[in-house]
Amino acid sequence: MLGNWLKTSILMAGIVALFGAVGAALGGGGGLIIAMAFAAAMNIYAYWYSDKAVLKMYNAQVVTPDNNQFRNFYNMVKELAENAQLPMPKVYIIDEAQPNAFATGRNPEHAAVAATTGIMQILTERELRGVMAHELAHVKHRDTLTSTISATLAGAISSLGSFGMLFAGHNSSGERNVNPAVAILIVILAPIAAMLIQMAISRAREFEADRAGADISRDPKALASALEKIHNYAHQITNETAEAHPETGQMMIINPLSGGGISGLFSTHPQTEERVARLLTMDNTY
């Protein structure tokens, strides 16, 4: 656990430093100030509104305790939240065939968990319980805030790169701020570097959420089985919302967009096989 937290902290520091370095390289001291102000504004917005935005994006419908159709699901989340010593999060259902689930919210007191109707159709109750425990582990460790900040900074770095040539002018003394060739390299390489760091953060948090989720449900084998099923189904069914908003893919328990592309460094999630293997080694501890 400590190793993953340390890795995340180092990676977060790296993405912030990269953001400042891009601003400074493209615009000197003024560019650094502009970059940091831009990042601060984006993070404030993401902190307060990102959960509402993503739930609206997926047309998620809130589940209440008196909802007959999803009462068992609501009670399952309630039991797991109590096991995790968390406040009861808001519970949402997404009418989507692709099996998936995610958590969002700026802190445990303002958290929400969502699951698709597709995931309820393919998983057993025990497997679904493992998935929701994984999502509550994200809430407990405030991973939703970490992923929001890292995604916002990565996007901001890409924006700076896109507008980088605007900063590559002259300062008040008539001197050029940065060599045009260097500016072009920054425009190309900085967004790639930011994306790699963001994805490394996401992979570290997924491993930790698997471990902590297994602790909450006390059933790592169920989560392992669920991950295998979701992985097999997720890339057979198109998720139009995820395709239109690929930045939300990192929030899901299995990235719906990572099935046929490049893996490894460019993956937001660890390999499913490795996640399953780690969970199965835990099974003997319960």
Nearest to 79 by CA among 208, 206, 210, 219: 219
Residue among 135, 175, 228, 274 flagged as catalytic? 135
Residue 236 sits at the vertex; the CA angle it makes with 80 and 113, to the nearest 5 degrees, is: 20
Give residue 90's Cα distance to chain centre. 18
Rounded to whole angstroms, the Cα distance separating 117 from 114 reads 10
Residue 241 sits at the vertex; the CA angle it makes with 237 and 247, to the nearest 5 degrees, is: 110
Backbone angles phi, psi at 102, to 5 degrees: -155, 165
109 is a catalytic site residue: no
Nearest to 142 by CA among 154, 153, 130, 150: 150
Tell me the catalytic residues: 135
